[in-house]
């Protein structure tokens, strides 16, 4: 017993201090992209042509990036001869609407707002989620599960994953929702007692991800269920997922918009 206690004492306190202090992110981390439209050569389409998921389209003000489809790969950055697109280290990506995921040059990015007063009263201190893997590669599920580890300790925020939808307050869905999973997703949603919420995690769950051209998938959760929170990424970092969950519950200080 004494050896166990000594080992525990040597290990110290392992849980990250977030949200009081941000954990260190690796240099290779790719957060919210930044667009400098003034550096775009006229008529250039190299970034859009390099994007495998058609997440970039050219608007009147310059390239627009749909973070719901973005895989956060560096292809567009490498394709641009003028360096007009770059990934920042900002992990805050979650939004309440699909439209807010579209980045346009010079625009403000609307971060996820909290649930309405009644839902926040119900779920703000205790939120039970049933995780549903709806046909993805399991990358998002891995980072979702990381939040249950000692370092992140999701339970200290009153958020828990549960095995049965009948014990849940909502669904956290990963994957593009394949046709083989459509009925299972609907049945799982119907089994959750109301009121309930739905959270789409990752590019697949939001816009179909790299599978968006395949007929065997439905292009994300929103085509099947009403979605209350979108968390983009491929996969999103655990910090991005946690940031979105806490914003939805009103547990973070309101920072509704960030500049481009």
57 phi and psi, to 5 degrees? Answer: -130, 155
Nearest CA-CA partner of 164 in 140, 132, 136, 134 = 132
Q: What are the DSSP calls for 154-202, one per residue? A: GGGGTEEE-S-GGG-SEEEEES--BHHHHHHHHHHHHHSPSS-EEEEES
CA gap 245, 199 in Å, rounded: 9
Q: Report yes or no: 142 and 234 within 8 Å, Cβ to Cβ.
A: no
Residue 26: CB partners within 8 Å, gap ≥ 6? none
Match 């403000």 to its residue by tokens.
Answer: 108
pLDDT (tens digit per residue) in 45-73: 899 999 999 999 987 777 899 999 999 99
For 70, counting Cβ atoms within 10 Å of its Cβ (0-12 exposed, 13-18 middle, 19+ buried), the class is buried
Cα 137 to the center of its chain, rounded Å: 15
Is residue 3 one of the residues assigned to a domain?
no
Whether residue 157 is contained in a domain is answered as yes
Structurally, the chain folds into a number of domains equal to 1
Lowest mean pLDDT among 40-49, 91-100, 111-120, 187-196: 40-49
Residue 165 lies in a domain: yes
- Across 195-210, average pLDDT: 97
Q: How confident is the model at residue 254 (pLDDT cuts 50, 70, 90)?
A: low
pTM reported for the whole predicted model: 0.92
Q: Is the CB of residue 123 less than 8 Å from the CB of residue 81? A: no
Domain-located, residue 124: yes
Q: Quick: pLDDT tens for 15-45.
A: 999 998 999 999 999 999 998 888 888 878 8
Alpha helices in the chain (DSSP H): 2-11, 46-50, 75-79, 117-123, 139-146, 179-191, 203-207, 238-248
Buried/exposed 126-143: b ≥16 CB within 10 Å, e otherwise: ebbbbbbbbbbbebbbeb
What is the span of the domain harbouring residue 236? Answer: 117-252
Pair 72, 8: CB distance under 8 Å? no
Domain membership of residue 64 (yes or no) is no
Is 167 within the bounds of a domain?
yes
Domain containing 164 — which CATH number? 3.40.50.12280
Residue 153 lies in a domain: yes
Task: State mean pLDDT over 221-240.
Answer: 97
Query: CA 217 to CA 207: how far, in whole Å?
Result: 10
In a domain, 95, yes or no: no
């Amino acid at each position: 017993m004494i050896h166990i206690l000594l080992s525990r004492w040597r290990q110290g306190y392992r849980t990250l201090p977030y949200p009081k202090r941000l954990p260190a992110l690796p240099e290779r981390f790719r957060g919210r992209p930044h667009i400098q439209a003034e550096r775009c050569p006229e008529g250039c389409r190299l970034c859009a042509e390099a994007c495998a998921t058609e997440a970039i389209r050219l608007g009147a003000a310059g390239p627009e990036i749909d973070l719901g489809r973005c895989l956060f790969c560096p292809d567009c950055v490498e394709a641009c001869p003028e360096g007009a697109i770059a990934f920042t280290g900002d992990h805050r990506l979650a939004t309440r609407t699909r439209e807010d995921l579209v980045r346009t040059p010079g625009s403000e990015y609307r971060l996820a707002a909290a649930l309405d007063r009644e839902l926040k009263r119900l779920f703000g201190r205790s939120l039970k989620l049933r995780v549903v893997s709806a046909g993805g590669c399991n990358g998002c599920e891995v980072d979702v599960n990381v939040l249950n580890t000692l370092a992140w300790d999701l339970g200290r925020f009153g958020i828990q994953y549960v095995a049965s939808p009948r014990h849940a307050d909502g669904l956290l869905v990963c994957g593009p929702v394949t046709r083989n999973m459509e009925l299972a997703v609907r049945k799982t949603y119907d089994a959750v007692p109301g009121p309930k919420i739905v959270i789409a995690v990752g590019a697949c769950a939001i816009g179909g991800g790299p599978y968006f051209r395949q007929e065997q998938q439905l292009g994300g959760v929103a085509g099947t269920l009403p979605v209350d929170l979108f968390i983009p990424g491929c996969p999103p970092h655990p910090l991005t997922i946690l940031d979105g969950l806490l914003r939805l519950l009103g547990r973070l200080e309101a920072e509704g918009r960030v500049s481009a």
